[in-house]
Structures are given as structure tokens and as C-alpha cells.
Structure 1
Amino acid sequence: MKVAALVGGVGGAKLAYGLSKILSPDQLTLIGNVGDDLDLYGLHISPDLDTVMYTLADRANPVTGWGLDGDTWAMFDMLRCYGEDPWFRLGDRDLATHLLRTQWLAQGMTLTAVTERLTLGLGMRHPLRPVTDDRLATMVETEEYGPLGFQEYFVRHQWKPTVRRVWFEGAERARPTPEVATALREARILIVCPSNPVLSIAPILAVPGVRELIENRKGTCVAVSPFIGGQAVKGPAAKLMGEMGLDISVHGLIRTYDGLLDGLIIDYTDRDQLQAGESIRVRVTQTLMQTADDKIRLARECLEWVGSW
């Protein structure tokens, strides 16, 4: 059985971890968001890819969900000595990832090849594929500062600005990688992980050809809601969607994914939003993932639920 998962950020990485403990590397392909990539201090940084990579390699900071566990900040502190305002935190060991990624890209390697080399170095066995090797940038139009790159909005301004619009610069020229296209064609189950629908999943879907591959899929597509009790577990998803006039209910999430889903898994705290005659199948369970067992349990429930159809 082939499974593909669209994943971005901490929440998505948690479910990806659970799936990786159940499925073999031949069965599971993780398709990662690159819309939040940025160039800083001459380095190419891929935060969502790194979060997934560190999580599946059992190296992620367990408190923040991002960065490396036990990392130090000497380089970060040294930047301050030079009068810099280092708003994007790069740990000392994390820095090695970005140095090598930048060097290998400059040598002509694709982001796909670079990511594979990094994951193998960390002992991560399951394939993590950037949705595209082309440049793609999530841009946020804010009321207070005008247009901002995603990391400026998310990290520098701590997602406080009011969002009016989100778009994906370079999407019209981007193409899914051959590895991603193959994974989507072959998947019998496609799982949309509980990532931010607008900032993590939408950039993946914005790459021309990806949505069409999902629409023409052979298998079943299910999503796990990133909301619990009508709020995001972590990050700006609920705030941002509300500011953009998007409905953060179960029905709003179904509409956000615009006919791509066969099923949706929601937390039991949101079960009162269900109505008779839902357009897709809905499963109610506990979706909060605090422990490794939680991640594996939810992943297993996803697979078994779809397998029972």
C-alpha cells in the first residue's frame, strides 16, 4: 500500500512521525512545503523541511517542536555583538544544515537531492520530497506593514499583523518534482496532515499540476484538522483565516480544501459542529498529539479508518 502525506510545520511533522512508525520507507512518501523557505545571511533555509526532518530523526526540540534538541546559540549571540538584530533564530548545530544546503545548491544539486542527502545523514529512512525544486515564496499582505515574506510575518512580527491576503510568488513557474508526481499518482491513501491550511498546505497545492494530480488520484484523500476547540493548537491558522474572512469550522475547512477530500478527521471537541448530510465522511477522535504514542495512535487510526471504507 502506497501512502503520500502533505506536510508542513510542527503539527504536520507530528503526524508524519506517527506514520513513519507504522509504514515502511517503501510505503510512505512525505511531500513538504517550501513556501516558507528564505535566504538569510547568505544561507538557504527550509524551515518546514527541517522541522519534518528533525522530527522523524528524533532530533527535534521537544519543547518548541522546531530546531534541534539541545542546540546552543553562540553564533546567534555573536551576531548581536556585531550590532545585528537576529530575528530568525539559528542554532549552532542547526547552522550546519543550512551551510551544507546552501553549498550543495550552489554546486548545482536540486533541493530534492539536497534534502535526500541531509535526511540520510540524520538516519531518516522515509523519503521527504520538496513539492518543487523551483523557487516558491509565501507572501502575506498585512494591514500594518504591507507585503511581508512569510518568515517576516511569522517570526519577525510574531504573526501579530492583520492579514488581508496570502499569495505564492513564483507558483506560476513552479512544477512538481518527478518524485512528487509519482508519489501522488501511486498513492492509495493521501493524507493532508494537520498543518496550517493557508500557510503550509496551500503553497503545496499552488504548484501547477499538484491539485490536478490529487483530483485525478486513484486512491482516497483524507485530512486531519489542525483545529481543536475551534482554535489552532500552535501558530496563526485560526487568527489568519478569521482575518481573511475564512470559516474555521469543520465546514470551512472542507471548503478550504475545495472538493479534494473524501474524509476529514476532527477532534472530539469540535463534534458539535457536525450536521446531518455532511458532504464527506467525518471521523471524530482525539487529535491532540503530545506524546510519541499519541502520534502513532492517530496515524494508525487514519490508516485503519480509510482501510475500513
Structure 2
Amino acid sequence: MNLVVIGGGVGCARFVMGLREHVRRTGGRDRIDVVVNTADDWWVSGLRIAPDHDSLLYALAGVNDLTRGWGRADESERVSGELAAWGTAPAWFTLGDLDLGTHIARTAWLREGLSVSEVYRRLGARWDLGVTLHPATDAEVDTHVLLGDREPIHFQEWWVRHRAQLPATGFTQQGIEQATPSPGALDVIAAADVILVAPSNPVVSVGPVLAVPGMRQALAAASAPVVGVSGIISGSVVRGMADACLAAIGVDTSAEAVARHYGARVAGGLLDGWLVDESDAAAAAPLNAAGISTRAVPLWMRDAGTSARLAADALELADTLA
């Protein structure tokens, strides 16, 4: 089967690792492609930084920092300190030296004229990932946060420096109106047997992918069932500050509210199916009535086994919808 995942960041990485483990345990014949959010990318010290992509790359390669949850393992930060001392990088955005090697390579290739898709291929070729990563778009569509009467700021400043504590009134992706889905993203969506929406931040990781002009149309036209996995359990985010993002766009922090935010595909939305945690089983009946086939299963991805089980549950739901 051709399995396609949409998302970005740590939650997506854990889910994709579980999907890869499930595929390995069941014979290893399925292909996995991930359409990755690019809208939290930005420029620092003349380097193009891509946090959602790199979280996936490092985790799938087995070189990620499991303690911090981001960046490379066994890091040093001497160069980042020098950049801050020279005033070319903010002191609140720390990059490890190994991580900077990735950003330097990425930027060098971009300045040579390679597309973001081509850069993804070169970065992914270093390790045996068992997964192919595709940018949602090759265009730059950085997310900025709207702050009412204040000037908008880049998402990374709001997220990392201010820890999402500044009251936001919305999010915008600069230049997204002129963007198009990357050719690789369109190809794998069209060929997919199952499309899975990862338990990523619905607003700033999944939302920008869906906002690329042509992406929703491609998903609507896909013959594959679309099954999403909630990143909200018992009214709380599993990781990060997605609750602040949801509040900014007027969506409650609940598995049911996020599913309704995505919408049922039969009604012009995204989802055919939705997995919620067993603690949120009460959401199944109203969501089923709204046209989103919903099952309650264990969602906590504590290790390879529980992550693989969650992936299997998603595929089993997709199978009933095919």
C-alpha cells in the first residue's frame, strides 16, 4: 500500500516512526510518504531553518535528542553562542552545532538554485529513513502571528521566545496565495491508498499544509480514505502549546472540537475517520453523526510498541472506510 501522512514536528515524527515500525512488523512492503509543513521555516543568520522537517529527519534517522525532544543528540552549542555574540542570531533561539551543519547544507543548496523538494531529497539520502519526506510547497510561506494592535511577529518568536504567552488573534502565512503544492506532494496524494493526518498542531502544522492553494482540492479528489489522529487527550495537548493556537482561532481544546475544525469530507471538510483516546470516547457518537467515523483507542505513544499499535488502529479504521 501507499501510505501518506500529513503533518510536521515532534508529534508527527513519533506517529510516523510508529507507522514505520508497524510496516516493518507486517512485512515491510508498504511505502510511506510524508507531506511536511514548511510554514514554520524561517531565516536566522542567513540560514534557512526548517524545524518541522528536521524533527522528522532526525527522529527517523535515530539521531534526535530524546531528552529535549528536538535537535540532534550529543550536541554542543559553541557556534550558536558566537552568532548571538555577533548579534546575527537572537539569544533565545539556540541552534546546536550539528544542527547548524544541516542548515548550512540546506542553505547552500538553496542558493545553488535547488528547490526545497530537491533539498529534502538530498538531506533524506544521508540515512536509511524508510520514509520519503516531501515539502507541502516549494515556496516560502513563513507563518506570522497576529497580535491585535501590535505588529505581527514571526511564529518562531511567538513560540520560542514568548512561549505562546502573547495573546494571539490569528495566524497568517506570508505569500501563501501564490504558493502551489510541491509536485511530490501532489503525486503521492493522488497515488495514496490511505491518507493519515498526524497528531500534529492542527493550526500551525496541519493548517498551513491545507492552506496551500490546490492542496484541499487534491485531498478532496483523492480516492484514499483520510483518517486523522487527535493530538488532544482529555482536553489537554499531548505536547507543546497547541491549546494557545486553538484558542487564537476560536476552537476549543478537545478531540471533538479539532475534528469538527477539520470537518467531514462528505460535507466539504478533510476527514473520513478520526481516532480519539479512550478517555474521549464520548466524542464518538456526535462525530459519527456529523459524518466522521470515529473510534476510541489508546493514543499515548510511549514506545515503539504503543506507537505501532496506534498506526495499526489508524490503518484498520481506514480499511473500513476504503
State the aligned residue count: 309
Partner residue in 2 for 1:303: 315
Q: For the residues of structure 2 that align with 1:285 and 1:150, how far apart are their CA atoms? A: 33
SS state of the match for residue 256, structure 2?
Answer: helix
Judged with a 3 Å threshold, the aligned counterparts in structure 2 of structure 1 residues 85 and 136 are, in CA distance, closer, same or farther, namely: closer
Question: What amino acid is the match of 1:280?
Answer: I
Cα deviation for residue 61 of structure 1 reads 1.0
Q: For the residues of structure 1 that align with 2:253 and 2:29, how far apart are their CA atoms? A: 34
Q: Deviations over 1:252-282 (max 9, x none)?
A: 2122113210110011122233435342111
* Unaligned stretches of 5+ residues in structure 1: none
Q: For the residues of structure 2 that align with 1:15 and 1:187, how far apart are their CA atoms? A: 18
Cα deviation for residue 85 of structure 1 reads 4.2
Is this contact kept in 1: 2:11–2:198, CA < 8 A?
Answer: yes
Is this contact kept in 2: 1:5–1:29, CA < 8 A?
Answer: yes
Q: For the residues of structure 2 that align with 1:145 and 1:291, how far apart are their CA atoms? A: 43
Q: For the residues of structure 2 that align with 1:79 and 1:219, how far apart are their CA atoms? A: 47
Q: For the residues of structure 2 that align with 1:280 and 1:173, how far apart are their CA atoms? A: 31
Q: Deviations over 1:180-212 (max 9, x none)?
A: 111111111100000000000010001111100
Cα deviation for residue 18 of structure 1 reads 1.2
Question: What amino acid is the match of 1:272?
Answer: A
Q: For the residues of structure 2 that align with 1:77 and 1:165, how far apart are their CA atoms? A: 32
Residue 197 of structure 1 pairs with residue 202 of structure 2: yes
Q: Which deviates further from its counterpart, 135-144 or 106-115? A: 135-144
Q: For the residues of structure 2 that align with 1:25 and 1:77, how far apart are their CA atoms? A: 45
Q: Deviations over 1:150-206 (max 9, x none)?
A: 101111211111110112111111111111111111111100000000000010001
What is the identity percentage for the equivalent residue pairs of Structure 1 and Structure 2?
34
Residue 260 of structure 1 pairs with residue 265 of structure 2: no
Q: Deviations over 1:217-276 (max 9, x none)?
A: 101001000101111111121222123321333332122113210110011122233435
Q: Superposition pairs for residues 132-151 of structure 1, below 5 Å?
A: 132-143=137-148, 145-151=150-156
SS state of the match for residue 176, structure 1?
Answer: coil
Is this contact kept in 2: 1:132–1:176, CA < 8 A?
Answer: yes
Judged with a 3 Å threshold, the aligned counterparts in structure 2 of structure 1 residues 139 and 25 are, in CA distance, closer, same or farther, namely: farther
Residue 128 of structure 1 pairs with residue 140 of structure 2: no
Q: Deviations over 1:77-119 (max 9, x none)?
A: 3345446642211101111000000000000111111111111
Residue 39 of structure 1 pairs with residue 51 of structure 2: no
Q: For the residues of structure 2 that align with 1:61 and 1:144, how far apart are their CA atoms? A: 38
Is this contact kept in 2: 1:134–1:174, CA < 8 A?
Answer: yes
Residue 270 of structure 1 pairs with residue 280 of structure 2: yes
* Unaligned stretches of 5+ residues in structure 2: 264-268
Judged with a 3 Å threshold, the aligned counterparts in structure 2 of structure 1 residues 166 and 80 are, in CA distance, closer, same or farther, namely: closer
Counterpart pick for 1:64 among 63, 68, 72? 68
Q: Superposition pairs for residues 183-222 of structure 1, below 5 Å?
A: 183-222=188-227
Is this contact kept in 2: 1:138–1:166, CA < 8 A?
Answer: yes
Please, what TM-score do these two structures have when normalized by structure 2? Answer: 0.91
Is this contact kept in 2: 1:20–1:56, CA < 8 A?
Answer: no
Question: What amino acid is the match of 2:97?
Answer: D
Q: For the residues of structure 2 that align with 1:85 and 1:251, how far apart are their CA atoms? A: 38
Partner residue in 2 for 1:91: 96
Q: For the residues of structure 2 that align with 1:155 and 1:117, how far apart are their CA atoms? A: 28
Q: For the residues of structure 1 that align with 2:215 and 2:249, how far apart are their CA atoms? A: 24
Residue 182 of structure 1 pairs with residue 187 of structure 2: yes
Q: CA RMSD in A?
A: 1.8
Residue 284 of structure 1 pairs with residue 314 of structure 2: no
SS state of the match for residue 129, structure 1?
Answer: strand
Question: What amino acid is the match of 2:65?
Answer: N
SS state of the match for residue 21, structure 1?
Answer: helix
Partner residue in 2 for 1:229: 234
Partner residue in 2 for 1:7: 7
